[in-house]
């Protein structure tokens, strides 16, 4: 027979490990594909130089993801989560219509 104390001492640490692992997995979302519905809706391209400027008049050369307010990484990160893409990782040299200048 298992005592309540024994049950609690074994169950709580195990549950904490499981919850921590699932949070880490969520935090490391994969790279977004250009075919992802959100990416398509926002005109996202992995390489900003391949954006069709006629289709997206908001595009300005040099405005890339790593200079955007929504880019959740360092400027030097090749890939980082993006707030506009549901936390999926975008290429630092990419672009989409949600681009907003990063605060200084």
Backbone phi, psi, residue 64, to 5°:
-115, 165
How open is the CA angle 33-35-41, to the nearest 5 degrees? 110
Query: Which CATH number characterizes residue 36's domain?
Result: 4.10.490.10
Are residues 90 and 80 in contact, defined by beta-carbon separation less than 8 angstroms?
yes
Range of the domain at 4: 1-29
Q: Would you state the pLDDT for residue 2?
A: 62
Q: How far apart, in whole angstroms, are the C-alpha atoms of residue 37 and residue 90? A: 14
Q: Give the total number of structural domains in the chain.
A: 2
- Which among 34, 17, 14 has a CA at the least distance from the CA of 85? 34
pTM over 0.85: no
**Tens digit of each residue's pLDDT (9 = 90 or more) over 8-52:** 555 555 444 544 444 444 456 799 999 999 999 999 999 999 999
Residues 54 and 97 in one domain: yes
- Which among 85, 81, 65 has a CA at the least distance from the CA of 73? 81
Q: Would you state the pLDDT for residue 84?
A: 96
Residues 80 and 100 in one domain: yes
């Amino acid at each position: 027979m298992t005592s309540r104390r024994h049950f609690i001492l074994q169950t709580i640490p195990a549950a904490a490990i499981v919850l921590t692992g699932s949070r880490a997995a969520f935090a490391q979302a994969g790279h977004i594909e250009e075919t992802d519905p959100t990416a398509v809706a926002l005109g996202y391209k992995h390489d900003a130089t391949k954006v069709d400027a006629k289709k997206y008049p908001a595009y300005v050369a040099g405005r890339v993801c790593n200079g955007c307010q929504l880019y959740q990484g360092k400027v030097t990160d090749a890939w980082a989560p993006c707030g506009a893409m549901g936390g999926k990782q975008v290429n630092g040299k990419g672009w989409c219509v949600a681009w907003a200048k990063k605060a200084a």
